[in-house]
Amino acid sequence: MSVGPDRTPVIAGIALSDYPVAPELDGVQHHVLAMQRVLEDSGVAKADIDGYVSAGGGGMMVDDPVTMSEYLGVDHRWIDGTMTGGSSFEFHVQHAAAAIRDGRAHTILVTYGSDQLSRMGRTLGTGSFRTGQSQAVPGPLQFEAPYGSSLVGSYAMVAQRHMHEFGTTSEQLAEIAVGVREYAQLNPLARYRDDLTVEDVIGSRMVADPLHKLDCCVITDGGGALLLTTEERARNLKQPPVYVLGAGGAQSHWNISQCPDFTTSAGARISADVYAEAGLTPADVDTIQFYDSFTITVAVLLEDMGFCAKGEAGAFVQEGHLRRGGKLPLNTDGGGLSSNHPGMRGIFLLVEATRQLRGQGDEAQVPGAEVSLATGSGGWLSCIGMVLLGKDRPA
């Protein structure tokens, strides 16, 4: 939606902190490093920032938005701290774009940082809750944790159901991991860069049936930042602006025990509206940056974002569309499956989509990329946020 040249929202800066392993940095230092780099990338003067967003994730009084505003010295007049898990940043761009259109802020900084790998080790998400009364599980999770439910187990139930209903195969899911690995091989910083085959994925250790180790994302350190501003201000900045063409998000449940339909996410009921806002269809999208916490996550999102009918994602990926050279290259930075996943990956989807639309993708550049869709999944396919970004000004 265009509102004239003055307040059309654009992404004017992107940055990553250090990854995949940065034991010298704590979570807040990742936020700081990402901010320093996004100021350098964009050419924005820090004093011009008048809006700030952090999803937190490192804890209240640590990296929540108000603590971080003080720590970074951002005197904001607009703030957001929406926390929907890994998709938080897609919601942030939705909210920031609206704030910029409304004139509530003109230069908004989003930062994220996590030292998950160095601090917590590699068992996070695959292990169970700790036991004993002192570690008693509060809230709704108290009705799942005693039965051994884990994060991977929740996504495994989604995969099982998708296989049961639609005949999706492990080979088809593995194809997703293999395609993303090809892009990771072009990213010198990616966590895993070895050659990978479908047989390797299926032959890797079973973590939660039917998800093998290599169906699961990596665990790393990392952080990122975005700078959103008006098209008018971006003219005096360093980078070609990338336009926010449409954005939306929705929730179907939070805990997996409350999931109404394992094979359809909340993305299915918003994607048509977001394409309509942008005046686009799925056929207009040149590259997708999707939350690949697990291979099955991508499969469900492909269907719910309108790239194929419900149940047909397996056949769709098997046709090779998501690979380098395909019609819909996926996760051109190496994704969470092979490059980096510090806990909430949604910001990297937006960073990579922007890099592609600037034409700065180096070897991984998708030729002629003009439109990219970044779709995040938070929780257990619970909160889906999507952002359509474009190289050109919205019509």
Q: Site residues (CB under 8 A) for another protein?
A: 128-133, 135-140, 142-143, 145-148, 257-258
HSE value, Cβ hemisphere, 13 Å, CA-based, for 59: 7
- Smallest distance, another protein to C-beta of residue 137, A: 5
**Which of residues 136 and 309 has its CB atom nearest to another protein in the complex?**
136
**Which of residues 147 and 194 has its CB atom nearest to another protein in the complex?**
147
Cβ atoms of 212 and 206 within 8 Å: the answer is yes
Which residues does residue 109 pair with via DSSP β-bridges, in sequence order? 52, 227
Quote the distance between the C-alpha of residue 164 and its chain's center: 27
**Which of residues 141 and 315 has its CB atom nearest to another protein in the complex?**
141
HSE value, Cβ hemisphere, 13 Å, CA-based, for 218: 23
**Which of residues 5 and 146 has its CB atom nearest to another protein in the complex?**
146
* Rounded Cα–Cα distance for residues 77 and 72 (Å): 15
> Which of 265, 294, 331, 333 minimizes the C-alpha distance to 170?
294
- Smallest distance, another protein to C-beta of residue 158, A: 20
Strand order in the sheet with 78-80: 78-80, 51-54, 107-114, 222-230, 9-16, 242-251, 383-390, 371-378, 287-290
Cβ atoms of 2 and 394 within 8 Å: the answer is yes
- Smallest distance, another protein to C-beta of residue 263, A: 21
- Smallest distance, another protein to C-beta of residue 154, A: 15
**Which of residues 134 and 368 has its CB atom nearest to another protein in the complex?**
134
- Smallest distance, another protein to C-beta of residue 384, A: 20
- Smallest distance, another protein to C-beta of residue 151, A: 14
Residues 6+ apart with CB under 8 A from 130: none
**Which of residues 67 and 257 has its CB atom nearest to another protein in the complex?**
257
